[in-house]
Copies of this chain bind each other. A is one copy, B any other.
């Protein structure tokens, strides 16, 4: 939709990969709509995943006992966070929709993207206590997880060997995104592109591009536990 701002946080090493194709069609389709798009290409940026003392410029609040969460909170308030963090926070702040594009590593995000979550979504910026879940600070924004898996859809079904795919989405969609207030759109899961035919891969890319045509009409999903686990 013209005028909307989209941030794509992208975590794949290879531009010619299937994840790269999904990122590319998202940029193309959203540009065509007149959206302003920013891509954080984490591997290309060599984004730092480790949460360390280096994230605070200048003196610590309590150098005797380093507490990352507390120091990041204080540094956010004093505007003394490292610039790679504040650069990402600015992108998030400006976005109406944040899309996370990545391959599933161990039922979760690749470490480089986990590090983005750990460092960018700090207390004071994304939430406070109180000020989380439905009152998280990013509550006027949408988030969408677009991921690829190694296993097939059947493996990620309730009776499959890897369990319902919603199980592995829980920490990410509820624990991180919903905690920060994001309204979460349905995940886009491209199952097992590596063992799919070229035709099937193309169909998955097309289906993502097609979904994006009407993405601004979608309603968020409910992230609360009873629904989530079908109870």
The reply to whether the CB of A213 lies closer than 8 angstroms to some CB of chain B is no
The reply to whether the CB of A52 lies closer than 8 angstroms to some CB of chain B is yes
The reply to whether the CB of A163 lies closer than 8 angstroms to some CB of chain B is yes
Stretch with Cβ within 8 A of B (4 or more), from A106-114, A138-146, A202-210: A106-114
Interchain CB contact under 8 A, B163 and A106: no
Interchain CB contact under 8 A, B14 and A66: yes
Interface size of A by CB at 8 A reads 51
Contact status of A118 and B107, CB under 8 A, knowing A16-B65, A17-B65, A65-B16 = no
Interchain CB contact under 8 A, A13 and B53: yes
Interchain CB contact under 8 A, A51 and B111: yes
**Copies of this chain, count:** 2
1/0 contact string of A162-187 vs chain B (CB within 8 Å): 11100110111011100100000000
Contact status of A51 and B107, CB under 8 A, knowing A114-B114, A163-B170, A225-B167 = no
13 interchain pairs, CB-CB under 8 A? A13-B68, A16-B65, A17-B67, A43-B52, A49-B49, A67-B194, A106-B171, A107-B172, A111-B118, A158-B225, A163-B228, A171-B171, A229-B229
State which residues 33-67 of A face B: CB under 8 Å.
43, 46-47, 49-53, 64-67
State which residues 81-110 of A face B: CB under 8 Å.
105-110
Contact status of A50 and B112, CB under 8 A, knowing A170-B170, A175-B168 = yes
